[in-house]
Structure 1
Amino acid sequence: MALPSTHASAAPGQSIIEGPDWCKPGLLARAGRYPLAVEAPVMAAVDMLVPGVSTVTRYARYYSLYWALAAHAERTSLDREACRRLVRRAEVGLARISVEYDSADGPPGLAHGVDAYLRLGPDDGDEFSIADASGAGSYSPRGWGFWSQYNGPSVALGTVTVRGGALRAGRHPCPPQVAAFYAPLIAAADQGCGLSLPSPALGELSLQQDTGTPDLEPLGQVLSATGDGRHDPELWTGNDATRRATLRILARSGQLNPDAETWLGAFIASVAYGSAAREDPLLAGEERTAAWRGVVLRHHSVGAWRRLWAALVEQVREEGTASREHLHEWVTAHLPDIPLAAFEADLPTVVDVYGDPAPAEDGLRSAGPGVLTDVALLLLGARRLDSLTGTTLFSFKGKRPTYLDPTWVAQLRRELARRPLAELGRRLVDDMLAQSRRVALRKVTLNRDGTISLFSRLHERNSAYFADSSEGSGNIGLRINQLAGIATQVGLLAPDVADPVTPWAQRLLELPA
């Protein structure tokens, strides 16, 4: 019986032989995100506590751009395809303006797509050719360009809605001054006639425009859930109220921690540790402060798992292949030969003399990274289950138990308290290997061509592990720096760490002077 085979065309006098169809790869290994799935509880909580901002929404200017585009699309009844074309052209136009007027060294940086614009190098007046193109000649491989990053946040903010795939005005109508501000860019993008630069009107759209532009105040009011300078709870949604609460907590944290190097550092110092969350009237009066405390403390455990897994995968890559026994030996070599209980006895306390959370994790991290540090961080996370209460405990644990969560580690603590610390390390290796396999199998995808995609960097064959590539060891984001960046751009916060909150923000957010 003849074997099924594939055939390819050949020049006259030549033959091409290809293997049978059943020799084609059927299983495609691809790099997966979140290989242990330990991030979900923190990500879900952050999504709820910072609606309208994501880890990839870096610029206030894009929020107002899409605000104006949505108003124009509704006014002119643009369909889905016309909206998509207009969005892509407007984004390329903003990149071209940024090339002309912005500096790579100035805050907040250069517009989205500038690198691709410079690489493709369209002629002046022909900018939109790379917006209308696809593939290698396009500024973005995504059909909707950078709108893909701002879509959900803009809808949550209420500046845009999507109907039938087309942009339409959201529950907050685009102010006339914002529509007029973007009118020159939208007109050029709509007509496809290119941009004529330099231009005073278009230059004002640059990200580093040093004078207040008409889009910033309306956008600041939407971010802070205020109208006419005041907050009326009856006029805003629950998402708006939550975003306002987080913004108030962030701004107050900056006031209380003027020496912090970053907004995230100030936020953590006020929310996660010490008595500020209990004693400061504003922080204590915001119920989301307690929720944030649990999220920030759980974030340490997530980071520890991610770093441990990355270290394990890197060990496999260095060896080429590794057995489970080899990985047991690897983790054992990083841990002291003492009982788990004795090791825990030397760890810093998780509460201070007043019963408030102490920065035990910060002390461990300052001693240096490594397997031992991350095992200790997991143990501290499990210990915090005994000291947290109420909303803080609920947000720390998450809505439901998950593999490798603090409760999981707490069970191991009890089970192995009198056993060597290295035995805990070996159990953690086994649990990570098992969890990564569960996650990979859960994500298996059947492709249209009949192949199967397996999303994992680590694979097992004949009891030996091998890895395609390294895992990222960085922790997931909490969106605080992104929120602070947007708030700074609209004028609510200031880059001066000694005086980080503007008078305008003090009024809108009802902050102490």
Structure 2
Amino acid sequence: MQTEESAAVTGPAWTSSRSGTYPGRFPLSVERHTMNLVDRLVPGVTTVTLNARYYALHGLVASEVDRRGLNLAAAQNLLRRAEVTIGAVSTRHYQRNPAAHEALSRPHAYDTILPQVRAGQVDLDRLAAPQVYAQPNWGFWPAYRGSEMLLRIVTRTNEIGPGERLDQSAVQAGLRDVLELLDEKTLDVDLLDAYEELCVCRAVDSPDGAWLARLLAASGTDADGTRAAVRRQTLRMIARCLQLTEVYQVSTDVSQFVAYAPESFEDRVLTSLDLTAEWRGLILRNHSVAAWRGLWAWLVNGMSGLTTRSQFTDRFAEALPDVAVADFLAGLPHTSTPAGRAAPAEHDPDLDAAATPVRCLGVLCLGARRAMELRGRELHGFQGHDPEDIFEELAPAWLAAQLDRWKPRSLRDFARWLAEVMLNRSQRLALAKARRDPRSGTLKIPTRVHTRDEFVFRDSVESSGGAALRWDQLAGILAGAGLLSRVDGVWTLGPRGDLIV
């Protein structure tokens, strides 16, 4: 009998008893359009780029690696020691003055560094060793690398090198003291306090922060369609929203303002920005994304042990009113105002108060209606131009066509059919994403839901929620560079905010 690692099996053999599945992400793949458009509209920031000063720090390291001509291992060691140093100073300052960090994320590896800060001494040698404060050999740089390359702060030359937009004099002026600490074996709290200006919060008034603010704001960019010009429009839109309304959480409050507030349709600045309408369409589409994911999580997490397909679909059907599809649609709130603008239908109080399956299906039907109502850049933000995406299974336009066919028929029968569509789609996508594990030879399938003949079961809990618009991460980065600020929970323009107004 051959082992599991064998490349081929000749004759009978026992298969491995280990599971070939693991919890996958995006089981219905309803997020693709939203995530692709967010990537275009917020270039240079991702969901894992959390603090502005790391952009400058990595630029400083890239410059120093280039200057010293370091090999790969030495470059990685230098970067890890620099990140731990910044993390230690920032963790200490966060403990002493949390108000100064109100608009910022905690420094990377905060939970790992904090116990040593509290003990009075940070062991730089031990924490900066490979796979201690961070698993990758490059520390947290992989989370920033794509964004920093797009901004041309670094290049892949010799794995890390200075990019053409890196202002070496600015990062040296703001962060050169990091280099003085890299040869220390330990950093005691007195030393951390003495180098407080290296904290992630101090980029707001430092030369490296000023350079990064200008780079992100791209105030000299006039060429339409460039990544920098697109980012500038997004920044100007958010800045203008902060001037027009009170914002406590950017992703929630700005989204609702841009999507529905009369000022977002009338304000001179917002209407002059092409991306405002595109963002509005994207925000409205994200309600459908959240509804699909919420409905799927409700269906999956409601299973208890082995479930038949009919039980799976019946649970959805029985949670809905016994009416025709047309009657359900007629009872939904209006999606447009008399002036033809987007109405806050997705936040209708009756819909908000409804049980999860009713609310999610209602929001999905509103999205299907919007696919027929929106025009121009709003429609582009909502569904794009690719026919394969527009009419893909579960997309709003696809759902609109299905609802039209089902109008005279039972809503509960429609729910049974839709639950089957979702279940079958999840299985097809899981198999399409399956990959062979080169170490074990096992086919790894990303799924939480399994079907066996007419039975369905789950092996873990499914999550819900919309796709990330990256606005919270963006606001934190902008605050770190002094473009935005947050005081007593309210977001405002920062000391360098004039660059984005």
Q: 1:253-308 CA distances to partner (integer Å, 9 max, x unpaired)?
A: 111212x4322334223421244343222111111112111111100000001111
Residue among 432, 435, 447 paired with 1:445 = 435
2:82 to 81, 86, 90: 90
> Does the alignment pair 1:147 with 2:141?
yes
Q: Partners of 1:256 and 1:123 in 2: how far apart?
A: 46
When normalised by structure 2's length, the TM-score is: 0.89
Q: Is the 8 A contact 1:253 1:266 kept in 2?
A: no
Q: Which of residues 128, 135, 139 in structure 2 aligns to 1:131?
A: 128
* Matched residue, 1:255: 243
On the 8 A contact 1:71/1:174 being kept in 2, the answer is no
2:279 is the alignment partner of 1:292: yes
The C-alpha deviation readout for 1:27-57, integer Å capped at 9, x for no partner, is 5110101111110100000000000111121
Map residues 290-439 of structure 1 onto 2, 5 A cutoff: 290-316=277-303, 319-363=304-348, 366-368=352-354, 370-398=356-384, 399=386, 400-401=388-389, 402-439=392-429
1:366/1:186 CA distance change after superposition, 3 Å = farther
Determine whether 1:173 maps to 2:166: yes
Between 1:264-273 and 1:423-432, the stretch displaced more is 264-273
Change (3 A) 1:443 1:4: closer
Judge which range, 456-465 or 486-495, deviates more.
486-495
1:115 to 108, 111, 116: 111
Residues 1:470 and 2:470 are matched in the alignment: no
SS of alignment partner, residue 394 of structure 2: coil
Name structure 1 gaps, 5 residues minimum.
7-19
Secondary structure (helix, strand or coil) at the match of 1:198 reads helix
In structure 2, relative to structure 1, the CA distance for the partners of 1:344 and 1:112 (3 Å cut) is same
Deviation of residue 310 (structure 1)? 0.8
How many Å separate the matches in 2 of 1:330 and 1:69? 57
Instruction: Select between 169-178 and 282-291 the one with higher mean Cα deviation.
Output: 169-178
The yes-or-no answer on 1:195 pairing with 2:187 is yes
Equivalent residue for 2:199, pick from 196, 206, 210: 206
Q: Percent identity?
A: 33
27-36 or 396-405, larger mean C-alpha shift: 396-405
Secondary structure of the 1:381 match is helix
1:461-512 deviation digits (Å, cap 9, x = unpaired): 232111110011122210112112222222222214778224642x322x3x
Give, as a single letter, the amino acid of the residue that structure 2 aligns with 1:60.
Answer: A
Q: Tell me how many residue pairs correspond in the alignment.
A: 481
Aligned partners of 1:151, 1:498: CA distance in 2, in Å?
A: 31
What CA distance in whole angstroms lies between the structure 1 residues aligned with 2:479 and 2:343?
30
- Distance in 2 (alpha carbons) for counterparts of 1:323 and 1:436: 16
Following superposition, the deviation at residue 242 of structure 1 comes to: 0.8
- For 1:480, the aligned partner's letter is W
Rounded Cα–Cα distance in structure 1 between residues aligned with 2:236 and 2:355 = 33
Q: Relative to structure 1, is the Cα distance of residues 385 and 161 closer, same or farther in structure 2, using a 3 angstrom cutoff?
A: same
Amino acid at match of 1:130: L
Secondary structure of the residue that 1:351 maps to in structure 2? Answer: coil
Instruction: Structure 2: state its 5+ residue gaps.
Output: 5-11
In structure 2, the CA distance between the partners of 1:170 and 1:314, relative to structure 1 (3 Å rule), is same
1:224 touches 1:508 (CA, 8 Å); kept in 2?
yes
Q: Determine the C-alpha separation between the residues in 2 that align with 1:163 and 1:192.
A: 28
**Match of residue 44 from structure 2:** 52
Q: Partners in 1 of 2:77 and 2:380 — Cα distance?
A: 45
| Residues 1:62 and 1:254: Cα distance change in structure 2 (over 3 Å) | same
Q: Distance in 2 between matches of 1:392 and 1:212?
A: 38
Mapped pair 1:239 → 2:227: yes
Q: CA deviation at 1:144?
A: 2.1
What's 2:9 paired with?
none
Inter-partner Cα distance in structure 2 for 1:141 and 1:498: 35
Residue 368 and residue 219 in structure 1: after superposition, are their counterparts in 2 closer, same or farther (change >3 A)?
farther
Counterpart amino acid of 1:47? D
Match of 1:79 in 2: 71
User: Which segment drifts farther, 438-447 or 71-80?
Assistant: 71-80
Q: Which residue of 1 aligns with 2:259?
A: 272
